[in-house]
Chain A
């Protein structure tokens, strides 16, 4: 790769009081190149990433600089965005152009396409968490009056061990309904009205692209690739226009069965769709059904958050095969993986939610506080197996407060921060935030 900026060199930029060292090139895309850089004393300065644009990209997008300034001024919606931190313009004539600084993506985050391609080890719980973070990120972005315009697999990174995400390429972000930025989106993720040239991308088309991205993460398949894809010999641009625009039909459309997945070619969709509860499936049916042509009917970020959080609460491990299941625990259910009947689980009743007692599940602040929006990054408690006897399930207090427990024989116990109590004899736990009742089937 021929780098636009000198690797190992030091450059002066307007507005930066210290020189910036270009450590190494990280990669190049269609718009420019990204470098690891260091600000401040060599070896002990702050490490950041610098995106530097190709002249051709600057030429075709005259508003790019102003948009970046605006985003830098407004600040990131939350910590899940690799948001522009500072606009960098060179002090001298060379190198020509400009770029922006952002945080360096930490090791451990991998491109979401690896997951879609089936080559990533990740649990269903962490995929659902990643989906929740995604809905939350765009919820916050939209609440600021902004739109992203190019939601796709290519702009998302995942940490498989935690379900944390990072959203990159934030340089198309603009105030919704304003600006004439050049990006239209990525085919396969673009809303039909944008793909067909009837509208410019904005918050409403973001909702469509978000639904596609969530579907692709949850299913490892594509919402529109069913029977109609099999009829396409050469999958090129005109074919994609039909598949995702003119003739788009959701593969699981509840009324029109004209585009169902093929049992062999599209097995991923048929295996994964039954994993998810109706409440979540319906949100896809809405966005890809009526929402296909009526942008105002698309599932909202808040609805996704709620349904995804509920899904995480319903996670139950199959006693026959160990797989994670997510169906409504109050109904008769069978495991999607082995087909075995799922017993009614123990559940924890909180003032504003109910959580299945399964190792790895968490109690969240929104379960106790009606005013707290759904959030999963600061759980109150975690269900954990006993370290030497995994058949014993316990509840660990993740808060800073001591909780009082009551056992079924009337005995009282104190549960200090960081300690875990055995769920088997527990009747109720009074946390600092509210009561937790153990509901046995």
Chain B
């Protein structure tokens, strides 16, 4: 006779893409690269969701150009998700996109109990609307404060300061960190970051992974670094553009 048909109760994990669809994304195939990267990442994301008894991974997406609008409004189980292509054209209403997401993270519609949401902001330029107001509205919400917030800068024209504000306080030191905007200067790197966010980060936010201490560190450090309530996984080893992450070029 089979084991009784029961399971550990699970919680929703809301994963929301905020995608820049401004006119500049049409250049150099950036829009296509983003569509490809997201589409290619879905099987891996579905596999993480399948392996994870504690989470129900639900995906949504916002597009922003002249305005912000839901591109995928319904929280969709990743296993059932078919990615429709985003199209570029217009300016960069990033603040409006944050307000839209704020509406989704209010309770209701947010469930009473959930796992930390994951928000991934992808942009190649500067906001053209009131970014500060949008961010303030978002960050008033407890679910936004608890969320894992990641940002991917496409190309070298993205506004890194704005993206850093979205993520939160900049970590000390230099170098690549998930708490800094991730700089994707080519399609391969973009795909690696999207894959990382949709698999490793989703895993970390939903099911705790093995915890390690650095040599010399005291083991009391099982609390994640301040500014986050989820320990983020290592970034994937990527082929770096030689001028990414070298620090300021001129000062």
Contact = CB atoms under 8 A, between A and B. Distances in A.
B211 A118 contact: no
A152 B112 CA distance: 28
Contacts of B2: 121-123
A197 B6 contact: no
B9 A265 contact: yes
B234 interface: yes
Contacts of A221: 6, 8
Contacts, number: 158
A30 B210 contact: yes
A237 B224 contact: yes
B80 interface: no
Given A111-B51, A230-B113, A62 B229 contact: no
B7 A186 contact: no
Contacts of B142: 233-234
Contacts of B5: 118
A173 B197 CA distance: 30
A184 interface: yes
A197 B218 contact: yes
A241 interface: yes
Interface string B195-225: 0000010000000111111110011111110
B53 interface: yes
B9 A197 contact: no
Interface in A242-300: 265-268, 271-272, 275
A54 B137 CA distance: 40
Interface string B125-144: 00000000000000000110
Interface stretch (A85-93, A139-147, A188-196, A301-309): A188-196
B192 A2 contact: yes
Interface residues of B, number: 46
B222 A236 contact: no
Interface residues of A, number: 67
Contacts of B215: 60-62, 180, 182
Contacts of A225: 8-9
Interface in A119-144: 119-124, 127
B208 A186 contact: yes
B69 interface: no
A54 B233 CA distance: 13
30 contacts: A2-B237, A30-B209, A54-B234, A117-B7, A117-B51, A119-B50, A127-B3, A183-B210, A183-B211, A184-B213, A185-B211, A188-B208, A190-B222, A194-B219, A196-B222, A197-B219, A197-B220, A216-B8, A221-B6, A221-B8, A230-B113, A233-B113, A234-B116, A235-B114, A237-B223, A237-B224, A238-B229, A265-B9, A323-B1, A337-B4
Interface of A: 2, 30, 54-56, 60-62, 111, 113-124, 127, 150, 152, 154, 180, 182-188, 190, 194-197, 199-200, 216, 220-222, 225, 230, 232-238, 240-241, 265-268, 271-272, 275, 317, 322-324, 337
